[in-house]
A and B are shown apart, each in its own frame.
Chain A
Amino acid sequence: MKRYEFFPHTADVKFKAYGGTMEEAFSNAALALTKIMVEPDNVGAETEEMIEVESEDEKALLYDFLERFLVLFEVNGFLMHSVKELEIEKEDKFRLKAIVEGDDNLSRYEPETHIKAITYQEMEVFEKDGKWLVQVVPDI
């Protein structure tokens, strides 16, 4: 099964990411988001970053989680190679904890596209027949 794929969208890009669990689909969404900037496979696993977010529902969780990558990129120059660990807990709210591997030495890479923001436009997070699908249209 494909981990993620891209679709045309006026002014922007749209991607869908898949997984057997919500955690896997979210991890693949992080890969797809990185792919807009650089090929994640070409990024070294030089350093780790911890991500923790708490949100009121699934879509807000995806929004908050992916936004962390934009902040890590612009503030620390961090690009992701892969998601090492990712856990989602659901109580009254959703809590996500992740450890991601990547590189904060930006001079080694040539990201071409800049992502301004995550948006809720056409966002989907759902499970069907034991498979999870998430869809995101970032603002670029």
Chain B
Amino acid sequence: MEKNNIEIKKISDVSWEIPKEGDMNVPCRVYASEILLEKMKQDRTLKQGKDMAHLPGIYKYSIIMPDGHQGYGFPIGGVAALDHEKGGISPGGIGYDINCGVRLLKSDMDAEEVKPKIKELLDKIMNYCPAGLGGSNIKVQEDQINGILENGAKWAVENGYGNEDDMEHCEENGHMEQADPKEISSTAKQRGKKQVATLGSGNHFLEVQYVDEVFDEEVAKKFGLEKGKVVFMIHCGSRGLGHQVCSDYLREMERAFPEIVHKLPDRELIYAPAGSELAERYFKAMSAAANFAWCNRHVLGHQLRLAVKDILGNESLKTVYDVAHNIAKLEEHEIEGEKKKVFVHRKGATRAFGPGREEIPEVYRETGQPIILPGSMGTASYVLVGTNKGMEETFGSTAHGAGRLMSRHEALKKYRGEKVVKDLGEKGIQVKGASWKGIAEEASGAYKDVDEVVRVSNEADIGKMVVKLKPLGVVKG
């Protein structure tokens, strides 16, 4: 098959290039070690990296991150910057789960304080933060949905969930201004109505962790992360609402631009040309779906605080940062010596802005932004920091997690949920999940080694290691 015959040139131990050929507008850059690259060669990841390079107005190269794996249209772990006038915006370059992302909260508790009560804590978290296919504890009406879509985390704060400080510690302050609920179908709103403040299923989770290792004392201090202290990580997105928005616009763009569909190597790469009415409408709708996700993580953060207070009597939780890893942003980057406005598509990739960027909260402006990289269930997670090199090379982006290695089907054949929970229990990690099947599918053996992904990001200098986090307990979506 074609996928195995892709020519690739080594640039360094952690970066590679697929030269421009055929209708590619630019080459494709791959950040990976040899081990990670071998895995990418096993499926369509590299082919999809080349496909991205066909998009109009794309600058420099299409990019595959170290956790890259096969997706739809774009690979997961794909980044592409398209000119805001000559390029376009592609729903497939963002993904179905718009603003799937991660929020990290810190606390003043020591791991030893929490360990004895971890089971009770997880039970309480499950009550307050529904996982799996369960509906929400928070019922909202259609007019409230519009408020959420327009204002994201701001809606949450105005309605008594979380606070201003949480909001200031979110990418985009937890809401994108250009969001317009009118551009979202009523089907999408109906799908989202029962899902406010739910984790969902798949790879989503809420984890109780502690800071296991500090690599950069100074930056860790700036982020408020201290060795041995307990932190909480929330990984979820825009649920059915975001999925429907992606699907609605993908289909509308296909209908509106059949001539573009015919030219593309994959119809899921369909885009609306920059400046078209559809591009504008999609950007407003995507932003509204992103706001829905920020509201979700905001309310979940609030619910988590209630659970921690109930079980441990502790009220010290503060948001470190909240990052989106499925999104497109209109950003200014220096390209070929000029400042240019681009739609940066990050699909399964995290914004990793270096020092000085005004988009990041003032408190992190000197160091660069915190980047939150969740590992797979029961393994380590990391906090990294954005770099100047990343601004030059990757439009300020890095990986988003471990990246899948094994299909769910294979994982189900290989692992049993009960056994996975028992083994992790022996390692001191408690797991609660909505289903045994869900737990087996997310067994850490089904994922790439997060340590290797982070090592590559660190060595390529597109996201530097700050701290390593280890889990105490997991609530699995």
Give chain A's interface residues, CB within 8 Å of chain B. Answer: 6-13, 56, 59-60, 63-64, 67, 70-71, 74-75, 110-114, 116-121, 137, 139-140
Contacts and interface: CB of A to CB of B under 8 A. Distances in A.
Contacts of A137: 72
Contacts of A118: 247
13 contacts: A10-B406, A11-B70, A13-B407, A56-B258, A60-B254, A74-B190, A74-B240, A112-B435, A112-B437, A116-B96, A118-B247, A119-B268, A139-B243
A114 B133 contact: yes
B101 to A, nearest CB: 15
Nearest to B441: A113
Nearest to B76: A11
Contact of B202 (A10, A64, A114): A114
B191 A75 contact: yes
B251 A60 contact: yes
B9 to A, nearest CB: 25
A135 to B, nearest CB: 14
A74 B251 CA distance: 20
A125 to B, nearest CB: 13
A117 B246 contact: yes
A63 B255 CA distance: 13
A117 B246 CA distance: 9
A72 B409 CA distance: 25
Given A9-B409, A10-B404, A111 B251 contact: no
B235 interface: no
A130 B190 CA distance: 41
Question: 8 closest pairs, A vs B, by CB?
Answer: A8-B409, A114-B201, A117-B96, A119-B72, A8-B407, A11-B404, A112-B437, A112-B435
B38 to A, nearest CB: 14
B266 interface: yes
Contacts of A11: 69-71, 76, 404, 407-408
B247 A117 contact: yes
A8 B406 CA distance: 9
Contacts of B70: 10-11
Contacts of B201: 113-114
Given A74-B240, A75-B190, A139-B243, 20 more contacts: A6-B409, A10-B69, A10-B404, A10-B405, A10-B406, A11-B76, A13-B408, A56-B254, A70-B240, A70-B243, A74-B191, A74-B194, A112-B435, A113-B408, A114-B201, A119-B96, A120-B267, A121-B71, A121-B72, A139-B72
Nearest to B405: A10
Interface in B74-117: 76, 96-97
B43 A10 contact: yes
Contacts of A111: 133
A77 to B, nearest CB: 9
